Structure 1
Amino acid sequence: MDSLTRQETLTILAGMGVQLPPATKLPDEALQKRLRQALNGAQYISNVLANSPLDPATLSAWPSAHSVYEGVRRGNLQEAQQNYQAKLQGRETELYKNPILDARQTLMGIAKWWDEEHKWMVLQDPESEQCAINIRLLSVLELDKDTPVIVLLYQSVTRANVMEGLQWLNQMRDKNGSPGYLVNIKCTPLEQKLLLRLLAINAKLLTSTYVPKKESSEKNFKVSFLLPLGPLSFEDVGKLNNDPGCVLCGRKTTSRCSQCQSVAYCGSDCQKADWSHHKRVCRSLNGGTWRSARFTTVLPGMEGMYAVPLNKHSSRATNAMNTPRQLDSSVLQPNPHGSRLFLVKLQASLGGTPSSIMVYDRQRSIDVYIHDPEVFDDMLREMRGPRGGYGGVKMYRWAKRISDWELSICSDKEPQTEIKW
């Protein structure tokens, strides 16, 4: 099967929340690196596979009393809410619209069939005419108590090697003694390309000493593994969306809009071409009231305590692995934005009378609190006024870092841009 095209790669990244300019000039190598980072993030590689390579011989079998299907299910608070609303409205999850969501569904299907003692299957395009991936599951092992790892052999089948694929199917049927033993999972060509890319990435994480026994029809099969696949974490979404280059073409930037400083360009040609789209945002910042606000990194009375951050991108996989951090108000937070503008969310403390406002960006590179009474009251009025919304408890605004412990926030202008939060 052909490799992913640039457009297909951008489609997959967009489905994972990674937004790059459609006409991005990022080199193919850089684009594939970002996809690899996104897929590693979706598998929570840094949490569950810190010590690679993976050696299946050192792992125990996944407990038979535990469902592999339940083991591979991943989600977050945002998806849970969306699924609940869809259920209330009598809607089902749309298939074949988002390749990463389709791949997650396929993985759950593979796990479900393993639970029912099926070990070989075919991932077939919906029309059963173009391509397929033949798979034989070798084992399901316990990476940790929450993470099964599915070890498998696989082969991509196209019209060029269809006879080889059919030979394998016939051998599996003969070996298992039942034509009905075949499991066929519908899988679009793009989803198959994505899964093949994922399997190729994971294959490099396997120890070279692991050489499973193959059937006679499996000489061209490759060995790899699948881990639970879920939505990207809050931090990963932020990192992968950071520094996309020129807002129009993705080339290296040389300047920013002189009026608002909120977007960067590679040169005057792209800046002029983007003006019809950007002018609404740019003009919305004209005449705005910018408030300087000193911040702290720890709520009063919380110094020395431990905490784990939760948000709509939080999931069982990410939170279970995060060690609670000790709160220390003397630790200076990084400033990846420099002097540039960036979007922040301002959120009032819930319950009782608000005493502080939490301020953070999408990457959580800054996560602070405002207590200054004058600025606090101003921001709270904005949240509860016509430019606030969200039940009067949060709002989004443009901000910039003006010192190690101070932000400047455009308090009275709503961002006229998509909030990719």
Structure 2
Amino acid sequence: MSSRAEMVNVLRGLGVDIPADTKMSETRLSEKLDKALDCTQLASQRLPSLSLSPQSLPSWDGKNVGEDFTPDDATENNVIMGLLQSPEEMEPVGNDDFMDLRVVLLSLSYQYDTGRIATVIQNKQGTSAMCIKIVKVLKLNDKTPVIVILYDHALSNNRKPDNLEFCERELSFLLQPFVAGSIGAQQLLLRLLRLNAPRLPESYKPFRQPYERDFHLSFLMPTGPLTLADIGSLNKDKGCDVCGEKAFKNCASCGIALYCGKPCQEQAWPSHKRQCKALSSGVWTTVKFQPLLDAMPFMAGMHSVNLNRYTRTDEVKSGSGGRTKETRNPPPNDHGTKPFIIKIQTTQASIRVYDRRRTLDLYLMSKNDPVNFRRLHEAAGTGFKGMKCYRWAKRVSDWELSICLDIKLPEDPKW
């Protein structure tokens, strides 16, 4: 995947806040996409040393690999896993390359579950194809199968004799259909495999047929949506608002715009000054909030699970997806004195505000501060279904935020 537009589209589709017209260099975009793909397979959690030793792992002894290989997020309503009902009709889902990749992974795992270890992934036009051979499926833990594969990629104008022999010897064209995979999905799969290949030890040399001598060796792990924590991490460094390179300073007036230096800041001023002056002159209201236990004492001793579109079902099953034991300790200050975006969510009796990573998650009850409760309630009424909105905020103290209630964001962030 070499096109900067393609990389930007994938990152935006994953929930990374990056402008469609970003000036970020292709090198930095590629690095950010690699990091995002690593996060989609939970690499740092599953492989603390970022290496995998197949010789030390047992074979997968679970039921179906497909049941654990393509986790949904909490709002997909099992769209991906629902495809198991008609696996032979799996098709790319449109212009979402990452979703197409997950459909391809589901198809591969389904084929393994039905006894097929070799296949070809290709687009409808037949211009790009990948030969895939599943070497073995290993058990990293009870919920994590690891598929070790040999693979090769070729374009229609450069078909290799070994690929043709692979198809002739490994596939039965009447009984074993190809896997439908768009060019974008194939490019993402290749990038994921190239990320994982160096994590295998050089000493690991599985058996190859003669026509597989030039195939590449790598592995795949269950791959799903980014988590809240990963999105927060990927969004920390958005780059200079002008050139996209690493940013070192914020706008002194509003504290929001990011620049690599004075030349870019001066260049951006004509377009930035309107938002800057609005935020600088906006009405910032200081509100004192409460922890959940004070707002709702009946939650004492309980755990809460924060679910939204970026909560993975495998996190929920393992008990790690946003699951926290409620305390009265003040939330950590990850933002310092810099402005950050909060979501304001309201009901008739309570208001909840939180940042994207849920490191800050606070409550306001109508009975405790009716004036500010009404102000936040009115702000939320301007947003989605009159129930939630997004605003800029600054941390004032452990339990206080200063919120710019009268200035809307240009567009709602991916949350």
TM-score, scaled relative to structure 2: 0.83
SS at match of 2:293: coil
Count of aligned pairs: 399
Match of 2:133 among 133, 136, 139: 136
Task: Confirm or deny: 8 A CA contact 2:129 2:153 kept in the other structure.
Answer: yes
2:37 match: 39
Q: Deviations over 1:329-380 (max 9, x none)?
A: 3355133x332221101223x5xx62x4322111323223345967554234
SS at match of 1:15: helix
Match of 2:18 among 20, 34, 39: 20
2:341 match: 343
C-alpha distance in structure 1 between counterparts of 2:91 and 2:343, whole Å: 29
Q: Deviations over 1:283-342 (max 9, x none)?
A: 65465321112344442235665444333321222233455544333355133x332221
The letter for the 2-side match of 1:148 is: P
Comparing 256-265 with 145-154, greater Cα deviation is found at 256-265
C-alpha distance in structure 2 between counterparts of 1:304 and 1:386, whole Å: 30
The letter for the 2-side match of 1:394 is: K
C-alpha distance in structure 2 between counterparts of 1:142 and 1:53, whole Å: 15
SS at match of 1:407: strand
SS at match of 2:160: helix
Q: Deviations over 1:37-72 (max 9, x none)?
A: 2112111223434465323344444347x2322222
Match of 2:166 among 165, 168, 187: 168
Offset of residue 220 of structure 1: 0.8
C-alpha distance in structure 1 between counterparts of 2:23 and 2:279, whole Å: 27
2:208 match: 214
1:88 match: none
C-alpha distance in structure 1 between counterparts of 2:277 and 2:75, whole Å: 32
2:104 match: 106
Match of 1:248 among 220, 242, 247: 242
C-alpha distance in structure 2 between counterparts of 1:410 and 1:73, whole Å: 40
Q: Tell me if 1:327 matches 2:312.
A: no
Task: Confirm or deny: 8 A CA contact 1:400 1:407 kept in the other structure.
Answer: yes
Identity %: 33
The letter for the 1-side match of 2:105 is: L
Task: Confirm or deny: 8 A CA contact 1:43 1:229 kept in the other structure.
Answer: yes
The letter for the 1-side match of 2:317 is: A
Q: Tell me if 1:379 matches 2:379.
A: no
Offset of residue 409 of structure 1: 0.8
SS at match of 1:37: helix
Q: Tell me if 1:78 matches 2:75.
A: yes
Q: Tell me if 1:398 matches 2:397.
A: no
Comparing 50-59 with 185-194, greater Cα deviation is found at 50-59
1:151 match: 148
The letter for the 1-side match of 2:39 is: G
TM-score, scaled relative to structure 1: 0.82
1:388 match: 382
1:419 match: 413
C-alpha distance in structure 2 between counterparts of 1:110 and 1:321, whole Å: 24
SS at match of 1:242: coil
SS at match of 1:299: helix
Instruction: Tell me: CA distance 1:319–1:132, structure 2 relative to 1, closer, same or farther (3 Å).
Output: same
The letter for the 1-side match of 2:41 is: Q
